[in-house]
Amino acid sequence: MEAFINGISAISPQKTFPGGGLWKEVTEYNNVQYLKCIESRYNDYLDPMAARRMSRIVKMGVCAATECLHMAGVESPDAIITGTGLGCIEDTEKFLTSIYANEETLLNPTPFIQSTHNTVAAGIALKFKCNHYNNTYVHRGFSFENALLDGLMLLHEGAADNILVGGLDELTEKSFIITYRLGLWKRKSINSLTLLDHKTRGSLAGEGTAFFVLSRKKKENTLARIHTPGTIYKPGNTAEVEAALSGFIQRNVGNISDVDLVIMGLNGDPLQDEVYYQLKTNLFHPIACTYYKHLCGEYDTSSSFALYLAAMILKEQQVPEAMRLDNKPPGKIRNVLVYNHLRNKNHAMFLLSSC
């Protein structure tokens, strides 16, 4: 299955919204343990009264979706599909805090209503009066991948022409503290752009939202063609991952030499990054390799940000210097492979081709 990407948008810790400013300037963070999104003025996208009732992640999702649809020239999508690992954490925290503070009495139901994982997709549907297919996947490290696969299946079945697909997750101070205690993040503050230089356990926490308009037809503003994504759950070793990647590439473009650029999900944790370095030495040896989590941080749907970067690279035919892992020039970029895993459990691969 294939589809054309006719619109993209992302709100991230980089200046990607609106307009993809990452290609002009990379934002560097010093002395941090997590990255937060750079939020723009929402007045251009949201009614002020409606915005007052929205949580931060809902605002980010609705605004990114609006910009994405505008780029694609689509007034209202035929389907809205989102993926999120943890959903609307901020509203969940508000509701749980209210339960504790009020001893389970006189509770405000609004935070509970807005804490459900499909709140963002519902907010987008309300804004664009979209009464069509609306679904949200909550499968941790495969949340965005399943949302994308669902969208491709709908297009393949002829059930829709333009589908809005997005991946989103937010980070709060409380959620960071909880996951920090689990040993997921670096124990000391670091510089974001030197993430791979810190050979200690844990990664750099992050958040973000990215949306894509998938279409059956190519347009003048089409950015790329996307192939069916591949996934592996808990592979036994690197050889199994390499075999899966080789088969994935053969099914979609033919040969590893046809891949011009690889974007990998290195996150700074030596144990989790080992598979990336082994693949870089073996399977990806002749290919220019890059990475991205020092720009957005680690979160369940960070692969959606990687896909956004891949589409922008194909459009601009330029790789930001801060993403490079080696000095190999990619030359003309026709096919971009994205490979990412979350804590060595959820392994995902995407392939984008120029049109």
**DSSP collapsed to 3 states, 192-242:** HHHHHHCCCCCECECCEEEEEEEECCCCCCCCEEEECCEEEECCCCHHHHH
**Pair 56, 161 in one domain:** yes
The amino acid that residue 205 corresponds to is A
- Statement to judge: residues 233 and 210 lie in one domain: no
Average pLDDT, the chain: 94
Last residue of a domain, one of 215, 237, 272: 215
pLDDT exceeds cutoff 90 at 112: no
Q: Which residue, 215, 233, 254, sits at the end of a domain?
A: 215
Say what the pTM is.
0.96
Across 287-322, b (16+ Cβ under 10 Å) vs e yields: bbbbbbbbbbbbbbbbbbbbbbbbbbbbbeeebbeb
Predicted local distance difference test score (pLDDT) of residue 327: 86
Is the pLDDT at 340 greater than 70, yes or no? Answer: yes
Average pLDDT over residues 156-168: 96
User: Of the given ranges (12-16, 103-107, 148-152, 260-264), which has the lowest mean pLDDT?
Assistant: 103-107
d(CA 1, CA 149) in angstroms, rounded, equals: 9
Among 331, 82, 103, 108, CA closest to 210:
82
Give per-residue pLDDT as tens, 45-88.
888 887 888 889 999 999 999 999 999 999 999 999 999 999 99
Residue 105 has pLDDT above 90, yes or no: no
The tokens for 170 are 């937010």
Residues 322, 180, single domain; the answer is no
Instruction: Indicate the pLDDT class of residue 21, thresholds 50, 70 and 90.
Output: low
Identify the pLDDT of residue 178: 94
pLDDT at 253 over 70: yes
pLDDT band at 101 (very low <50, low <70, confident <90, very high): confident
Q: Is the pLDDT of residue 255 over 70?
A: yes
Whether 250 and 200 share a structural domain: no
Could you give the angle at which helices 56-72 and 89-101 cross, rounded to 10 degrees?
160
Contact at 8 Å (CB) between 13 and 27? yes
If asked whether residues 211 and 282 sit together in one domain, one would say no
Range of the domain at 198: 2-215
Q: pLDDT tens, 257-307? A: 999 999 999 999 999 999 999 999 999 999 999 999 999 999 999 999 999
Q: Please tell me whether residues 183 and 287 are part of one structural domain.
A: no
**Average pLDDT rounded to a whole number, residues 239-249:** 97
7 and 63 fall within a common domain:
yes
Cis bond upstream, residue 111 (ω within 30):
no
Residues 296, 299: Cα–Cα separation, whole Å:
9
Mean pLDDT of all residues in 93-117:
83
Q: Which amino acid is at 54?
A: M
Structure tokens at 318: 């330029």
Q: Report the CATH number that the domain containing residue 284 is assigned in CATH.
A: 3.40.47.10
191 and 277 assigned to the same domain: no
C-alpha 176/C-alpha 185 separation (Å) is 9
CA distance 314 to 332: 9
Write down the pLDDT at residue 115.
85
Reply yes or no on whether the pLDDT at 8 is more than 70. Answer: yes
Q: Are strands 230-233 and 162-169 parallel, antiparallel or unpaired?
A: unpaired
Q: At residue 151, does pLDDT exceed 90?
A: yes
Does residue 200 sit in the same domain as residue 75? yes
Q: Which two tokens stand for residue 201?
A: 């356990």
Give the relative orientation of helices 56-72 and 119-128 as an angle to the nearest 10 degrees. 50
Q: What is the mean predicted confidence (pLDDT) over 150-156?
A: 97
User: In this structure, are 262 and 203 located in the same domain?
Assistant: no
What integer is the mean pLDDT of 23-43? 90
- C-alpha distances in angstroms, 73 versus 215, 224, 242, 352? 11, 16, 39, 21
| Shared-domain flag, residues 47 and 115 | yes
Q: Which of 262, 267, 323, 337 is nearest to 300 (CA)?
A: 267
**Sequence-separated (6 or more) residues with CB below 8 Å from residue 146:** 83, 137, 139
**Cross-strand pairs, 214:** 5, 163
Same domain, 83 and 209: yes
* Helix locations, 31-109, DSSP H: 48-52, 56-72, 89-101
Tell the residue number behind the tokens 């030499």, with chain if given.
257
* Mean local confidence (pLDDT), 233-252: 96
Last residue of a domain, one of 215, 244, 268: 215
Domains in the chain, number? 2
